[in-house]
Chain A
Amino acid sequence: MSDITPELVRHLASLSRIDLHDEEVTSLTSELGQIVESIAKVQEVATDDVVATSHPIPLQNVSRPDEVGETLTQEQALSNAPDSADGRFRVPAILGGEQ
């Protein structure tokens, strides 16, 4: 049995900043349960002696010289901003009223 519970789905949704509706929590709990059950099999062969691969083609030391290149103008930077003021991006209060 999978350990995907509605509480866990809610917690994961809050970590990923998605305000799920109750119906979504219900359906995701069952779907993720099935999916996790089927993908958990990776553990069968992932033994200690096998190293992990994070990049398909192994490279190292890829870097760039410390030289200034082209930048965006302020207008370009803000061109897709849903809200802005004084050359900056605007967001609503970071802390809630009760704090």
Chain B
Amino acid sequence: MSGIVGLTAAQLAERLGAGEVSSVEATSAHLDRIAAVDGDVNAFLHVSDHALEVARSIDDRRAAGEELGPLAGVPLAIKDVLVTTDMPSTSGSRILEGYMSPYDATVVARSRAAGLVPLGKTNMDEFAMGSSTEHSAFGPTRNPWDLSRIPGGSGGGSAAAVAAFEAPLALGSDTGGSIRQPAHVTGTVGVKPTYGAVSRYGSIALASSLDQVGPVSRTVLDAGLLQDIVQGHDRFDSTSLTTQWPSMAEAAREGARGDVLDGLRVGIVRQLGGEGFQAGVRQRFTETVEMLQAAGAEVVEVDAPHFEYAVAAYYLILPAEASSNLAKFDSVRFGLRVEPAGATSEQMMSATREAGFGPEVKRRIILGTYALSSGYYAAYYGSAQKVRTLIQRDFSAAFAQVDVLVSPTAPTTAFPLGERVNDPLAMYLNDVTTIPANLAGIPGISVPIGLAPEDSLPVGLQIMAPAYRDDRLYRVGAAVEALVENALGGTLISRAPALGGAR
């Protein structure tokens, strides 16, 4: 990809800073790209009417000599799970169609304050429930690498927007892999920070104890630049950490220089590979591990015996919390209202929720209600919370031996649209690799490592670090990115097919 939209956020920021490109130029280039390709990709649910105005004001401030942040003037796509005052926020659901939030999510407010230019809101599985974006009430997003395939989910819109060069950066949310798995299938970078590193205030809650907002980009450095802006304590989120975070962009720059791999202890989780993993995914993973070894890393296999219970625990905890979080969608204060003639309030609520929620949302609400109901709580929700403890112990034991853990980010490459949408269990198993990090609250990143030979679709490497060590992910992630780029003779994303007939 050439031209302004082909630039990484870091490159674009540099040109903006040097006055070689204006934010208005950068923003219109991306709006043009959206106009050209989003008919095919459907990454955006809403494109901002006033992005150019915002861009102009950034240009004016820069012209007036104001000291602006490192990403000022760079366009940003925002997952529709994040509420915004100037654009509707639907979380991919009919029940919130047209909803205008009276306040901005903290990450959105911080992005605006840093001078980023919101381009629009990106598509997602309804209320972030899904791994393919096919559960969006507003039609699926398509994978820019192959429009007949899924872009991953729930944040398929953000990943596809970045992969299709419609935006250099996006914000996503990751409850069980919704940032990392879309990155894997679209050849992009996605980071789930440590739980509490980034505020959840204004992120429409799916599962409160699992949700984490994070950056989506084409390079590790770009993700670090965005995380630097959105991370840090927020007094409106009680679970927000008060940690003084180091610069993730700086960590990425250090990692790209190379020597971090020398002596790095890398653990391969025995339970996150092998059977059920596509051959080409395994092959690229193995080659990457070999490159790490060649660069001086000590690679060992580690055991995480309780990971096999992770998906089960996740599909109890998530629906339970979601069933409660989604109770507020009752048509009293906001959102869709369906009021049959003569209905009571209760009947109105039931009719609204029947009409406003899609099948996956209903499935999970009913499942969660079951898991919490009296007589079942201890066996299901209670047991799942115990599995969470066991998984945390597995991670602690593993991180006693190694600095980072690695796995393929997902078992397969992008599967065809429609293949699993009616098979919830098959869809759920897709998250087997990413779920453990959410249960334990630790950070994870997905970095592209190549294409699977059998289908020429992207494969990602998931790297996980102990809680609070997000910087380590950026350091190692950038080093892996550099190795891969070196091996491929260029970035993976540069091999993505052209879209909309334009290059």
Given contacts A32-B367, A57-B467, A59-B239, contact A52 B348 (CB under 8 A): no
Q: Do residues B343 and A92 form an inter-chain contact, with CB atoms below 8 A?
A: yes
What residues of B have a CB within 8 angstroms of the CB of A79 in the complex?
Answer: 100, 102
**Interface of chain B: mostly helix, strand, loop or mixed:** helix
Q: Mark A28-59, 1 if CB is under 8 A from B, else 0.
A: 10011011101111111111001111111101
Q: How far is the CA of A42 from the CA of B309 in the complex (A)?
A: 6
Q: Do residues A45 and B309 form an inter-chain contact, with CB atoms below 8 A?
A: yes
What residues of B have a CB within 8 angstroms of the CB of A94 in the complex?
Answer: 344-346
Q: Do residues B316 and A42 form an inter-chain contact, with CB atoms below 8 A?
A: yes
Q: Determine, out of B104-112, B292-300, B385-393, the stretch whose residues face the partner at the interface.
A: B385-393
What residue in chain B is nearest A73 (Cβ atoms)? B102
What residue in chain B is nearest A54 (Cβ atoms)? B385
User: Contact check: which of A18, A31, A52 meets B353 at CB < 8 Å?
Assistant: A18
CB contacts under 8 Å to A, within B352-389, are 353-354, 357, 359, 362-363, 365-367, 369-370, 373, 379-380, 382-389
Q: Do residues B392 and A53 form an inter-chain contact, with CB atoms below 8 A?
A: yes
* A87 interface residue (CB < 8 Å to B): no
Q: Determine, out of B331-339, B452-460, B490-498, the stretch whose residues face the partner at the interface.
A: B331-339
Q: Mark A57-99, 1 if CB is under 8 A from B, else 0.
A: 1010010100000001000110111110000010111111100
* B194 interface residue (CB < 8 Å to A): yes
What residue in chain B is nearest A95 (Cβ atoms)? B344
- Total interface residues on A, CB under 8 Å, equals 57
Q: Do residues A46 and B386 form an inter-chain contact, with CB atoms below 8 A?
A: yes
Q: Mark B238-255, 1 if CB is under 8 A from A, else 0.
A: 110100000000000000
What residues of B have a CB within 8 angstroms of the CB of A14 in the complex?
Answer: 350
What residues of A have a CB within 8 angstroms of the CB of B357 in the complex?
Answer: 18
Q: Do residues B367 and A57 form an inter-chain contact, with CB atoms below 8 A?
A: no
Q: Do residues A91 and B362 form an inter-chain contact, with CB atoms below 8 A?
A: no
Q: Do residues A17 and B346 form an inter-chain contact, with CB atoms below 8 A?
A: yes
Q: Do residues B441 and A35 form an inter-chain contact, with CB atoms below 8 A?
A: no
Q: How far is the CA of A36 from the CA of B311 in the complex (A)?
A: 12
**Distance from B308 Cβ to chain A, minimum over Cβ atoms (Å):** 8
User: Contact check: which of A24, A54, A64, A95 meets B362 at CB < 8 Å?
Assistant: A24
User: Contact check: which of B323, B333, B344 meets A89 at CB < 8 Å?
Assistant: B333
* B29 interface residue (CB < 8 Å to A): no
Q: Do residues B344 and A82 form an inter-chain contact, with CB atoms below 8 A?
A: no
Q: How far is the CA of A85 from the CA of B389 in the complex (A)?
A: 49
Q: Mark B423-467, 1 if CB is under 8 A from A, else 0.
A: 011001000000000111100000000000000000000000001
Q: How far is the CA of A14 from the CA of B389 in the complex (A)?
A: 33
**Distance from A42 Cβ to chain B, minimum over Cβ atoms (Å):** 4
* B312 interface residue (CB < 8 Å to A): yes
**Distance from A5 Cβ to chain B, minimum over Cβ atoms (Å):** 11
* B306 interface residue (CB < 8 Å to A): yes
Q: Mark A4-19, 1 if CB is under 8 A from B, else 0.
A: 1000110011111111
Q: How far is the CA of A72 from the CA of B334 in the complex (A)?
A: 15
What residues of A have a CB within 8 angstroms of the CB of B342 in the complex?
Answer: 97
Q: How far is the CA of A92 from the CA of B1 in the complex (A)?
A: 56
Q: Do residues A46 and B382 form an inter-chain contact, with CB atoms below 8 A?
A: yes
User: Contact check: which of B316, B354, B389 meets A51 at CB < 8 Å?
Assistant: B389
* B209 interface residue (CB < 8 Å to A): yes
Q: How far is the CA of A52 from the CA of B379 in the complex (A)?
A: 12
Q: Do residues B380 and A92 form an inter-chain contact, with CB atoms below 8 A?
A: no
Q: How far is the CA of A35 from the CA of B241 in the complex (A)?
A: 35
* B351 interface residue (CB < 8 Å to A): yes
Q: Do residues A53 and B370 form an inter-chain contact, with CB atoms below 8 A?
A: no
User: Contact check: which of A19, A36, A41, A80 meets B309 at CB < 8 Å?
Assistant: A41
Q: Do residues A52 and B331 form an inter-chain contact, with CB atoms below 8 A?
A: no
Q: Do residues A55 and B209 form an inter-chain contact, with CB atoms below 8 A?
A: yes
Q: Do residues B345 and A28 form an inter-chain contact, with CB atoms below 8 A?
A: no
Q: How far is the CA of A80 from the CA of B353 in the complex (A)?
A: 17
Q: Do residues B309 and A82 form an inter-chain contact, with CB atoms below 8 A?
A: no
What residues of B have a CB within 8 angstroms of the CB of A36 in the complex?
Answer: 367, 370
What residues of A have a CB within 8 angstroms of the CB of B384 in the complex?
Answer: 39, 42, 46
Q: Do residues B238 and A80 form an inter-chain contact, with CB atoms below 8 A?
A: no
Q: Mark B300-342, 1 if CB is under 8 A from A, else 0.
A: 0000001001011101100000010001001111111101001
21 contacts between A and B (CB under 8 A): A8-B370, A12-B369, A12-B373, A16-B369, A17-B330, A18-B365, A19-B354, A28-B362, A35-B428, A40-B379, A42-B313, A42-B387, A50-B389, A52-B382, A53-B389, A56-B438, A57-B441, A76-B102, A92-B345, A94-B346, A96-B344
